[in-house]
Every structure is written in structure tokens, then in C-alpha cells.
A = this chain, B = another copy of it.
Amino acid sequence: MPATPLLLRLSQPLSLDGGGTLPDAQIAYQSYGVLNAARDNAILVCHALTGDHYLAGPHPVTGKAGWWDRMVGLGKPIDTDRFHVICANVLGSCMGSTGPASIDSENGERWGMRFPVITIGDMVRAQAALLDALGIDRLHAVVGGSMGGMQALVWAAHYPERVARALVIASAARHSAQNIAFHEVGRQAIMADPAWAQGDYDPAGPGPAKGLAVARMAAHITYLSEEGLTAKFGRQLQNRDAKTFGFDADFQVESYLRHQGLAFTDRFDANSYLYITRAMDYFDLAEEHGGRLADAFAGSAAVRFCLVSFSSDWLYPTAESRRIVHALNAVGAPTSFVEIDSPFGHDAFLLDVPALDAVVAGFIGRSGT
């Protein structure tokens, strides 16, 4: 599998939902497996908030396995022996695609907070332009978990003729008030850091690392379940026999969270975090249809859908998947839905959950079918 990213500079300015266009947008992507002669075995996998396009195989920067290596590869549920799998870094991110840390070609300056606020729809529009450039008219499937699932929903709603199947895992058709609230805490944590400097920090330096770490810590709690945290950490102490009666990380869960926060600041850009969380908060597929979600899928009756939720996911709980299923039923789209019993909370879609593998493999099926 190739280790260097593929890059596409879009030939046309990208139209944005917020108005105007983004000139010279660049999309970093990666592909796995061979596109067949009929060009009908492509699967687009959409990544989550902080993900990237290094889906499978070793990550060229970290050396660790790609974020969905357990799901995508030879002989895996999304089998690269049969499918041509594509994953693109989302617009607004910092992993190679154009985002606030990129240079605005019109004035040679870093975008920073002058980057336009984008939407999930804009991310998908950029992916559609990528597929155009790759000569792929129609996807065998679009697949995503969490924010990736939101993109899969938009693909099915906005480009139903280009999607045979949509697999939406641990996701929602809108951000709830609680979802928005947690994201707002993260954004305020970043903006409260003087090193954020209204977004005009040097992305090569530490920037608002302290604020970004706090944002990640708060978000990370929402990715796990209470029962999972209790099972993994409980009230166990970190490398000590007794509480220190101080403010060190006495508890394992504190040490773990601090590590999650710090490690994140090494790999992610604070402004990108602001923009992508904003795109997620703005996401409400029903909104452009007067609040009626079924109307968003009025043209999607020929798309096959599969919705997956996890029992302990309280970020995008099963009720949100059910709401999508009801809308799809209303338009007669062939839809399957499964709630998988798992203690891992929202993060289950990234973890070792064999039941998910079976659902994915079964739904994706064989190329050409």
C-alpha cells in the first residue's frame, strides 16, 4: 500500500454552503486495492472529526496501523482484494487537505480564522469533485462512522445516483443540543488559551496546546461509556499505593485523560478543530427540508442503507439511528438497522467489535452485486 499521500488540487473553485467559493482547494487522499475495468468496485470511506486518509496499513507518520486497519485490507471486512477503497482527508482538516492552516493562494497568507466556515455538505462536495477527477461515477458503497456517517448520509441524500450503498455507523442526521454543548466547551477552551491569538498562531509551534488538550479531554469522555470507564479504570490509582492528597494524576483515569489531551496536540491543529466541530454542529440534514428528515431522502429510494448503532454510545445514541431509519422507511429505501451490544461507547466503531465486522462484510457484499 502506498505510504505517500495522493493529492488533488480541485480544478474548479469549490462552492460552499455558507456562500462564495474556496479557490485552489486541495484534497489529500489515499486508495487501497485496484479499481476494476467497469469502475464499479470503489468504496469511499469517510473519516471522523480527527481522522485522516491513512485508513489501512502502517501510518507513514506515526508508524502505527491506520485508523481502520482492522476493517480495511486484504481478507478484511472491506476487502481490498475485491474493492478499490478511497479515503480522503476532509476539507478543513490539517492532514493534507485545505484547511485553516493552509495558505490562501489569493494573498499568500495563512488562512487562520479567515478560512470560511464549512459544512459537512462542503466536505462531501469536495469528495465528489475528487471522484470526478478519478473518473468514478458511482460508488459501490460510501461508509463512515461518527462524522464519517454524517458524510455518508449527505452522499446518499445529495448524490443518490452516485451511491449504491450507504453504511452509517454510530452517527446521527443532526447534532443535538448536548452534542453542540460539548463542542462549544472545546472551542471555548481553545479560544481561552492566549496562545490561540485569534487563530494567528504558528501551526509549526505549540500554538494553543493547553486549550486544545482540554478540548480533547472533554471530547474524549464523550467517546467512552460510563461502564467502559468503570471497567477500564474504576477508581484505580496510577502507580501509587495511596492518594497523595494533591493535584497530581492520582487516578488512572486522570493520567489517561491527560495523556489523551497531550498526545492530541502533537497531531492536530487547533483551528481545524474549531472548524470541523462547527461543521458538525451545523449539521442537520432535515433543516434544508423544513425539518422533515424523510424529505432529505426523497430521491434516495434506490440506495441501500445500513445503520449501525452501539448500545453504550451516548454521543450519538441508538435513538438517532432509529430516527434515520424511520425517515428511510418513509421513502421506501431498502434499509437494515442493527444496534450492537458493546460497552465501548461511541468509540466502538474503531475498536475490536466482531459483530460490527460481520455487519460490514455482510452489507458491503461482493463487488458488482
Task: Please give the residue numbers on chain A whose beta carbons come within 8 Å of chain B beta carbons, in ascending order.
Answer: 17-19, 113, 116-117, 174-178, 180-182, 184-185, 187-189, 191-194, 210-211, 213-214, 217-218, 221, 224, 226, 229-230, 232-235, 243, 245-247, 249, 251, 253-254, 257-258, 261, 274, 278, 281-282, 284, 287, 314, 317
B217–A258 touching, CB < 8 Å: no
The 9 closest A-B pairs by CB, nearest first: A18-B245, A192-B210, A177-B229, A117-B245, A177-B233, A177-B253, A178-B226, A184-B254, A185-B217
B178–A230 touching, CB < 8 Å: yes
Give chain B residues whose Cβ lies under 8 Å from the Cβ of A278: 247
B117–A246 touching, CB < 8 Å: yes
Closest to A249 in B: B184
Q: Within the complex, which residue of B180, B211, B245, B257 is in contact with A251, where a contact is CB–CB below 8 Å?
A: B180
Give chain B residues whose Cβ lies under 8 Å from the Cβ of A230: 176-178
User: From residue A19, how far is it (CB to closest CB) to chain B in Å?
Assistant: 7
User: From residue A356, how far is it (CB to closest CB) to chain B in Å?
Assistant: 24
Give chain B residues whose Cβ lies under 8 Å from the Cβ of A18: 245
Known interface pairs A181-B254, A253-B184; A175-B245 also in contact (CB < 8 Å): no
A188 to B257, CA, bound (A): 10
Tally of this chain's copies? 2
Q: Within the complex, which residue of B176, B258, B282 is in contact with A229, where a contact is CB–CB below 8 Å?
A: B176
Known interface pairs A194-B194, A226-B176, A261-B188; A181-B245 also in contact (CB < 8 Å): no
Residue among A176, A218, A278 with most chain B CB within 10 A: A218
A226–B189 touching, CB < 8 Å: no
Closest to A235 in B: B284
Give chain B residues whose Cβ lies under 8 Å from the Cβ of A251: 177, 180, 184, 281
User: From residue A318, how far is it (CB to closest CB) to chain B in Å?
Assistant: 12
Q: Within the complex, which residue of B175, B188, B245, B282 is in contact with A258, where a contact is CB–CB below 8 Å?
A: B188
Give chain B residues whose Cβ lies under 8 Å from the Cβ of A221: 178, 181-182, 185
Give chain B residues whose Cβ lies under 8 Å from the Cβ of A180: 235, 251, 253-254
B229–A178 touching, CB < 8 Å: yes
User: From residue A256, how far is it (CB to closest CB) to chain B in Å?
Assistant: 8
